[in-house]
Amino acid sequence: MAEQMIQSWFVQGMVKATTDLSHKGWGERNAGNVSLRLVPEDLEPYQKLLRPGESRPIGETIPGIAGQYFMITGAGKFFRNVQLEPEEALGLLRVSADGATYQMLWGFRGGAVPTSELSSHLKSQEVRQRVTGGRSRVIMHCHATNLIALTYVLEPSSPVITRALWEGTTECLVLLPEGVGVLPWMPPGTAAIGAETARAMERHSLILWPFHGVLAAGGTLDEAFGLIDTAEKSAEVLVKVLSMGGFRQTISKQDLLALAARHKITPMREALDLESWGGEADVFCRASVNPV
């Protein structure tokens, strides 16, 4: 009977997502966590397999997700091993009617528990559901290498990093017109970083934790993964270009406006209006191409 749940689209989807994240090098050891919201229709074929456990506190009350179901990765679990033992590395939980506690229904065999960043996931899940009219179902956190690297050399602000990523690859503006949310450095797994992340999720579907990692929200696992993948590719291009001495030319503001018009999107104004995002080196590189 357990095999039936393991073969479900949502367990197999979580296995694929965590395996892909590991192969990318974004989930070293037990780094990263993923949550997927399920609806009752998803679980209907598996009702006989659900075994409600004792109620456990979330750590705070989140009324907007009361009664909802989430498949989530476990604390201390390695992304690279989820494919080997999904019933140990993954768990299905149901939030209580008051949004203050949860019960495990399946998985986490051997006494495992949800990720220590559970409250960050659930608060962000609540926000993204509200701002997307219920379409958003995934929160994905990982340690995307080049996005982390950029936070060491660029001003860690949303307009600056957004504009840099838009200029890194053409597709970045199309997928991230609202820009990237950038938080100050904070200890992970705390209520404070969860609250700040959820606040940033009001406006952004991609959040950067400087010197640490990134969180993405999406309607599907593929959508959230693709958002990180696109931003990380742009960051990789930027890292290489900056390592080669900087820009000789780039995607201009006029180019960005033309791209936005083509796709009928509205770019983040604070990023679009920047004259320069890279400080003196950026100004020098641009001036060397177009000397006064």
Helix (H), strand (E) at residue 124:
helix 118-131
The β-bridge relationship of strands 90-95 and 101-107 is antiparallel
Q: Which of 41, 117, 167, 202 does the annotation list as catalytic?
A: 117
Whole-angstrom Cα distance, residue 16 to residue 162?
29
- Among residues 217, 235, 239, the alpha carbon closest in space to that of 162 is found at 235
Among 69, 196, 75, 218, which Cα is nearest to 138's? 218
d(CA 97, CA 159) in angstroms, rounded, equals 39
List C-alpha distances in Å: 179 to 50, 77, 112, 197. Answer: 40, 31, 36, 14
Q: List, in order, residues 6 or more apart from 211 with CB less than 8 Å away.
A: 148, 151, 152, 185
Rounded Cα gap, residues 188 and 210, in angstroms: 11
DSSP state at residue 185? P
Q: Judge whether 60 counts as a catalytic residue.
A: no
Exposed/middle/buried for residue 234 (C-beta within 10 Å: 0-12, 13-18, 19+): buried
Catalytic residues: 117
